[in-house]
Structure 1
Amino acid sequence: MTELDLEAEYNNRARVADHMVHMDGWHRDAAAYRAAALCELDLAYGPGPRHRVDLFHPPGGDAGGPVVMFIHGGYWQGLDKSSSSHLARGANERGLTVAVPSYDLAPHVTLSGIVAEMETAADFLMQRSGRSLIVAGHSAGGHLAACLMARSVKSLKRPIRAGLSISGLFDLVPLVSTSVNRALGLTIEEARRLSPIYDQPPADTRFVAVVGGAESAEYRRQSRDFVTQWNAMDALGSVHEVANAHHFDVMAGLADPDDPLVDMLIGLADAA
């Protein structure tokens, strides 16, 4: 593909004309859920002002399974945990505790630094809860969730073997020539090193790569290729396409306890 094609494929805001309507809705719904939910807000997992995580607890009591760690998107250079609180609702109502962390953003930190912050957050949550994690995330958060699984055997206190990546980015090399990379400053070599598609998953890894049916061909290809690559290394992964969904509404089902995305989390919890 040409550079112009890649720019169009990865520029999600240009592809969805009313993206700000959806993003404004995230913040509205997230604030409403924080006000109503059983939650612990702004727990410190590190020294910086953005090294904070919110915990959302099931209203009917925790079922005792793994904690879901949901990582927000924003191409590693925007948003924070406050945009995603409402996405804990579906899992909460099915008995799972959900953690939503913030992290420092590019260009103030490198992408390697962001990955390291999420590793610190994951260790904090596992130590605090005494439980394993299911890692989940949207867009850049989907990339970070896959990185946590891929690096967990070497970098974390215990492996992470279950994940749900929504509109994830698993091969960063195509982004190097796009405007996304202005803040990241990745070389081809760094992009490859930070691409979980090239990493070995932990033994017995289970994951689902979710993508919207109305997303770009590159996003859909990335999910297919990631599943193919990790399954070839003895993981158990699948692709789930949300019909007619675009980049800004593909994860909306996480707020609904009866949605298939929440069913997937429950399935991952049962296997974790």
Structure 2
Amino acid sequence: MADGAAGGKSIDLEAEYNNRARVPDHQTVMLRWKADAEAARATRPVELPYGPGAREVMDLFEASEGAPVAVFLHGGYWQALDRSWFSWIAPALVARGISVAIPSYDLAPSVRLGRILMQVRDAVETVRRRSGARPVVFGHSAGGHMAAAMLSEGRASAALAISGVFDLEPLIPTSLNIALGLDAMEARALSVTNWPVPDGSAPGGTTLDCWVGGEESAEFIRQSRDMAALWGGRGVETRVEVVQGADHFTVLDPLRDARSAMVQRVADLATAP
């Protein structure tokens, strides 16, 4: 058992962070992702390379020429999945006039987490060069961490993190770290809780949303609340939204609906002056 302490209370970190073990029905949800993604890919998105590697490619679902772009960063604890699982999130945003880019990236343990962040930077910068503007970056789980990282670095116009993992140190004693191989020093260095907040006097955006499922573990809810409070206290415009009844997988369901609050928020951020 991987234990930690918060507020003097012992926490089973394995149970808190191992979402596939926590949600017995996750395979059903993920199979639905895959089927719906294949249907969405029938629209033939543009395949846009952002680097020389086989996985350094993104799918671009274009709403119209010159439309604002939102970049979605998938989760999987930096060690699973790729863009082909998440094409289904694009249609609702495209219907709202927002183009959607979904990159793949290399996975641990083949590469270190720091290398994955470099790839995500390259993907976001490729979108920026193509569109002429900083994109909104949104992401799920590990992708939420990376979305906040892109905002910190001034590469995003805004970020929306869904069930993000911002402080990586709690992952160290869990089975999730077998592939990541994080030690305390690397985990602290890569935790966006320790990164500079986006500066309103510099290029880039200063808005961070943290959305999280109401049925997620206490640690995931804490991570979102703590991140919003931390950066909010340092001048960033932050908000926390709890998606009632949603677990770590179904929290993405609102992205199917062009009328949902989550899609509305991404669209509003993408079209903000």
* Same fold (TM > 0.5): yes
Matches within 5 A, 1:232-243: 232-243=233-244
Q: How far has the Cα of 1:21 moved from its partner?
A: 0.5
Q: How far has the Cα of 1:65 moved from its partner?
A: 5.0
Distance in structure 1 (CA, Å) of the matches to 2:122 and 2:53: 12
Matches within 5 A, 1:96-107: 96-107=98-109
CA RMSD of aligned residues (A): 1.4
Q: Is the 8 A contact 2:3 2:173 kept in 1?
A: no
Q: Is the 8 A contact 1:160 1:202 kept in 2?
A: no
Aligned residue in 1 for 2:212: 211
The one of 19, 24, 32 aligned to 1:17 = 24
Aligned residue in 1 for 2:268: 267
Q: Any idea what SS the aligned residue of 2:45 has?
A: strand
Larger mean Cα displacement after TM superposition, 242-251 or 199-208:
199-208
Deviations 1:124-145 (A, max 9, x none): 1111121221000111111111
Aligned residue in 1 for 2:8: none
Q: Is the 8 A contact 1:163 1:206 kept in 2?
A: yes
Q: Which runs of 5+ in 2 are unaligned?
A: 5-10, 201-205
Q: How far has the Cα of 1:160 moved from its partner?
A: 1.8
Aligned residue in 1 for 2:177: 181
Q: How far has the Cα of 1:161 moved from its partner?
A: 3.4
Distance in structure 2 (CA, Å) of the matches to 1:65 and 1:92: 9
Deviations 1:144-190 (A, max 9, x none): 111111123xxxxxx32301110100000111111111101111111
Aligned residue in 2 for 1:230: 231
TM-score w.r.t. length of structure 2: 0.92
Letter of the 1:9 partner, please give it: E
Distance in structure 2 (CA, Å) of the matches to 1:39 and 1:65: 15
Q: 1:262 to 1:129 in 2, by over 3 A?
A: same
Q: Is the 8 A contact 1:161 1:202 kept in 2?
A: no
In the alignment, does 2:194 pair up with 1:198?
Answer: yes
In the alignment, does 2:119 pair up with 1:117?
Answer: yes
The one of 143, 146, 167 aligned to 1:144 = 146
In the alignment, does 2:42 pair up with 1:40?
Answer: no
Deviations 1:22-68 (A, max 9, x none): 11110100010111x36213x2110100000000012xx35x45310
Distance in structure 2 (CA, Å) of the matches to 1:38 and 1:256: 21
The one of 50, 55, 72 aligned to 1:50 = 55
Q: Any idea what SS the aligned residue of 2:120 has?
A: helix
Q: Is the 8 A contact 1:200 1:230 kept in 2?
A: no
Deviations 1:86-144 (A, max 9, x none): 11122111000100000000000000000000001111111112122100011111111
Q: Which runs of 4+ in 1 moved over 3 A?
A: none
Distance in structure 2 (CA, Å) of the matches to 1:231 and 1:263: 22
The one of 76, 79, 82 aligned to 1:80 = 82
Structure 1 vs Structure 2: percent identity of aligned residues? 47
Q: Any idea what SS the aligned residue of 1:233 has?
A: coil
Number of residues of Structure 1 aligned to a counterpart in Structure 2: 261
Letter of the 1:122 partner, please give it: V
Distance in structure 2 (CA, Å) of the matches to 1:109 and 1:95: 35
Q: How far has the Cα of 1:201 moved from its partner?
A: 2.0
Letter of the 2:243 partner, please give it: V
The one of 93, 96, 100 aligned to 2:95 = 93
Distance in structure 2 (CA, Å) of the matches to 1:32 and 1:21: 17
Aligned residue in 1 for 2:246: 245
Letter of the 2:39 partner, please give it: A
Aligned residue in 2 for 1:27: 34
Letter of the 1:149 partner, please give it: L
